[in-house]
Every structure is written in C-alpha cells, then in structure tokens.
C-alpha cells in the first residue's frame, strides 16, 4: 500500500506542477526518475526484464531513459517526426490551402461546425480499422484532418480532441487486445469480437459522437471561443488544384498498402509517409518546371518540421514513458491488482471494480495496453470462483483501458496531438472527458444487456 500512496503522491505533484506552467517534459522526466530511484532504494527492480541491468539502481534509472530515447525516438518518435515533417511540407508548398479551398465549397452547406466535428469523429473512428496505434492514428489525423477541421470553423481544442479520441473504442476485430481478451474469455475470436465486442463498440461510438457534439459546443460557449469558418476568399492559393490530393497520400497509402490490400505488397506507416513525401516532392518538382534547387529548398520545411516534432512532441513521449515505468516498477499497479483480488463483491460490483481500476491505471500510466494486460490475467480466475462468465468481466476492461488512456494527460496520444496542435494536454483531456464518461457507461450497459453474467 505504501507503494501505491507514493505513486499517487507523485502523480498529484506532476499534475500540480504542469498546471502551474512548468514544462511537461521536464516534470514527467523528473517524476519518472524520482519514482525509479525510490523503486531502487526500496530494493525492487528498476528495469523491466527485457532490459539488462547495469548493476546499480541509479544507473539503471538512467539506462531506462536511454532505452526510451532509442525505443520511442527511433520507433513511434520517428513516425511522429515523419508525419509532422510531411504536414509542414504540405503547408509550405501550399497543398493544405488547396485542400481547404476545395473542400470548403461542398462543406459550406453544413452550417454547424459541430456537425462537421461529429462527421470528422466518425471518419477518424473508421481510420482506426487501418491504423492500430492510438498515437500513430492521432498524429496521422493531426497531419491530415486537423488543418481542414480548424479551417471549417472547429475550435483548435475540439479538433485536437477529435484527433485524440478515435482509438478510445476498439473497432478492429483483429487487434492484439481483442485477441488476448477472446483467449482469456474462452470464446472463439469471431464470436467474441464480432458478436459481442463490435455491437457494444458501435453503440459507444454513437453515444460518444453525440456527447462530443454537445460538450464541445458547451465548452466553446463557456470559454467564449468564436467558431468562425475561414473566409475562402482570403485564402491565398498558389498551388494548382490537383495538389489537394497530396495531404491525403498517407491515408490513401495506409488503406492501399498496410496489410496487403494489394496482394504481395505490404508497407508500414514509416515507408508510406516517406513515399508520400517523395511523391509530393516529385509532383512539386514537375509543377515548378524541373527547378531542382527550389524543390530541394522547399524540402527544408519538412526537415524543420521533423526537428520541431522531436523537441515538442517526441521528448514528451519519452518523458511520459519514463514516468509510466516509474509507476509500474514501484508497484503501484501491483497494489491495484491486489485490491481487485481481495474484493469480495458480487458479479456486477466486481465488474465495476475491475473496470474502475483499469481506468485508473490507464489514466495514471498513460498506457492502454499495460493496465489491460495486467488486470485481464485476474478475470478468468475471479470469474471461475464466482461462476461468472469471463467475458462479462473482460469486455468492459478491454474498452476501459483505451477509454482511460484517452483522458490521461501523460498518454502518448494526448501528448502527441496536443503538442502538434499547440494546446495544453489538460485542455484536450477536458474535451475528451465527458464523451469518454458516456462511452464507458455505454460499454457497461451494453455488456450487461448483451453478455450473460453467469457462465
């Protein structure tokens, strides 16, 4: 219990200093290192098993920072930098202005920007079928849909929240979380994913879309944010109309090449974005009548965008990862699991307890996978003791882990999207909180209605 209290105290301190205006990356990194050092001082392992220890808990703590720089800087961080660089390049060559100009005409018939917000949210949720990473999807949407949403009159905080939210509810029947959940539930994948999880997910998405409509409208009115569409006549467009396709090349590429939609050809998101930048440069080169020097100078905007992303977004992700490891290594999550195991509650109460603990762990760590994988191990044993259906406990936990991540100011998707949109992570979390609450309630009600409590 001491470990849980330490983790809670440090988490509260993190929130306090960030609210007071301290740089989030520095606060999270400092807090994470402090937790790792306390972990080592208490005699626990600082590093996860996959990382070789250095022989001293102080240097082990620094070793984990190095690991996060390599892991997130070279993996997810590179994806973010590429997409940010691509977005900067599209703005520099004028492609984003062409998109706004072209799409403003047909969308002008929709008078309410909040209706456009809901439409953008539905499109973003469908995109989650193609992009499994919550952070990767959020960054992709920020690079493509975000400029159009803000130009159509949607406020920046609301637009960022939409980009951060689509992975809050799992739609894909083949995601890793769903496969694990089906196995622990003892159900065939198609039965678990399609017949039970999917109907609940669809209902939750509809409810969250409605909640996003009213909640963002209320906040914009309360905060006196004027929702004004960009005057199309004031948009300066120097690029030809066919440039409108260029900003959407990563999305087209994801659907065309990710998962062998084209037989025998499968590209990951990194290669797809590099290819998109390359195609954009070739088109710009030809359009500017083969002025190679000018084309190469324009590409500098891409490189600068990547550098800005490392400074403003990737380092935040590294710091958030160190903080999450600090919470897990000190035993805060294990203490939460102990509370669940010792709970002598009924079936419905046990489901609520496990769901609540999963949400709390997801908010604290900023991870959707780690809390679910930790708590899902409990579900079959607890269900067996009480004669419950494992699926009755697991389905809300599955969705709760992703919903909790969407309201965590230290989660990768919130940090990345808020950084790209120059909006406070807490402002984004405020925007996602009410839709997430309604989504969670829908998941719980849907589980009670659709899934038998007893096996």
Q: Mean pLDDT throughout 139-154?
A: 82
User: Which contacts qualify for 41-47: CB closer than 8 Å, 24 or more apart?
Assistant: 42/3, 42/330, 44/329, 44/330, 44/331, 45/329, 46/329, 47/329
pLDDT band at 265 (very low <50, low <70, confident <90, very high): confident
B/e letters for 341-371, b = 16+ CB within 10 Å, e = fewer, are eeeeeebeebbebbbbbbbbbbbbbbbbbbb
pLDDT band at 201 (very low <50, low <70, confident <90, very high): very high
pLDDT on residue 227? 63
pLDDT on residue 164? 94
Q: Count CA atoms within 13 Å of residue 428 on its CB side.
A: 30
Distance CA 87, CA 81 (A): 10
CA distance to 129, 138, 139, 171, per residue, from 258 (Å)? 11, 17, 17, 17
What DSSP string runs through 154-199?
--HHHHHHHHHSGGGS---TTSHHHHHHHHHHT--HHIIIIIIIHH
pLDDT band at 289 (very low <50, low <70, confident <90, very high): confident
Q: Mean pLDDT throughout 233-241?
A: 70
- Check pLDDT > 80 for residue 88: yes
pLDDT band at 225 (very low <50, low <70, confident <90, very high): confident
Distance CA 429, CA 409 (A): 6
- Of the candidates 116, 154, 158, 138, the one whose C-alpha atom is nearest the C-alpha of residue 427 is 158
pLDDT on residue 23? 78
Distance CA 315, CA 334 (A): 27
Domain ranges within the chain, ordered by starting residue: 73-172+197-312
Average pLDDT, the chain: 82
- Check pLDDT > 80 for residue 179: no
pLDDT band at 282 (very low <50, low <70, confident <90, very high): very high
Could you report the per-residue pLDDT of 30-78, keeping only the tens digit for each?
Answer: 988 998 999 888 888 888 878 888 888 888 899 998 888 887 777 767 8
Q: Mean pLDDT throughout 177-187?
A: 83
pLDDT on residue 372? 79
Could you report the per-residue pLDDT of 338-396, keeping only the tens digit for each?
Answer: 665 565 556 788 888 888 888 888 888 787 776 777 677 677 877 877 788 888 989 99
Could you report the per-residue pLDDT of 388-417, keeping only the tens digit for each?
Answer: 888 898 999 999 989 999 999 888 899 889
- Check pLDDT > 80 for residue 199: yes
pLDDT band at 446 (very low <50, low <70, confident <90, very high): very high
First-to-final CA distance of the chain = 33
Specify the length of the chain in residues: 455
239: CB partners within 8 A, 6+ apart: 93, 94, 95, 97, 98, 287
């Amino acid at each position: 219990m001491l470990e849980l209290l330490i983790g809670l105290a440090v988490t509260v301190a993190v929130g306090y200093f960030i609210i007071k205006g301290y740089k989030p990356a520095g606060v999270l990194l400092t807090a994470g290192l402090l937790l790792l050092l306390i972990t080592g001082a208490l005699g626990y392992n600082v590093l996860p098993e996959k990382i070789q220890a250095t022989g001293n808990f102080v240097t082990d703590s620094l070793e984990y920072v190095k690991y996060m720089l390599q892991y997130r800087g070279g993996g997810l961080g590179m994806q973010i930098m590429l997409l940010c660089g691509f977005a900067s390049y599209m703005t520099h060559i004028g492609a984003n202005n062409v998109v706004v100009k072209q799409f403003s005409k047909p969308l002008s018939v929709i008078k309410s920007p909040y209706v456009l917000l809901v439409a953008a949210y539905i499109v973003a949720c469908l995109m989650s079928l193609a992009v499994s990473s919550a952070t990767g999807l959020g960054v992709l949407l920020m690079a493509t849909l975000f400029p159009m949403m803000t130009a159509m009159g949607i406020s920046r905080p609301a637009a960022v929240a939409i980009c951060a939210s689509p992975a809050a509810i799992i739609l894909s029947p083949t995601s890793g979380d769903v496969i694990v959940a089906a196995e622990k539930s003892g159900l065939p994948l198609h039965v678990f994913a399609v017949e039970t999880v999917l109907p609940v997910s669809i209902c939750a998405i509809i409810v969250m879309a409605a909640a996003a409509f009213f909640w963002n409208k209320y906040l914009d009115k309360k905060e006196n944010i004027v929702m004004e569409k960009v005057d199309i006549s004031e948009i300066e467009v120097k690029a030809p109309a066919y440039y409108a396709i260029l900003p959407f090349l990563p999305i087209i590429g994801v659907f065309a090449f990710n998962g062998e939609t084209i037989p025998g050809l499968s590209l990951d998101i990194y290669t797809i974005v590099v290819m998109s930048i390359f195609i954009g440069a070739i088109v710009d080169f030809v359009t500017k009548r083969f002025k190679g020097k000018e084309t190469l100078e324009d590409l500098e905007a891409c490189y600068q965008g990547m550098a800005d992303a490392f400074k403003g977004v990737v380092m935040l992700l590294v710091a958030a990862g160190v903080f999450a490891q600090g919470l897990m290594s000190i035993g805060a999550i294990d203490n939460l699991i102990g509370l669940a195991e010792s709970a002598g509650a009924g079936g419905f109460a046990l489901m609520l307890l496990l769901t609540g603990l999963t949400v709390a762990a997801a908010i604290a760590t900023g991870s959707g996978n780690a809390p679910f994988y930790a708590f899902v191990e409990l579900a079959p044993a607890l269900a067996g003791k009480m004669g419950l259906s494992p699926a009755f406990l697991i389905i809300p936990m599955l969705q709760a882990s992703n919903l909790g991540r969407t309201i965590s100011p230290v989660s990768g998707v919130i940090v990345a999207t808020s950084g790209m949109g120059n909006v406070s992570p807490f402002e984004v979390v405020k925007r996602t909180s009410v839709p997430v609450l309604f989504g969670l309630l829908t998941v719980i009600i849907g589980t009670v209605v659709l899934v038998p409590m007893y096996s």
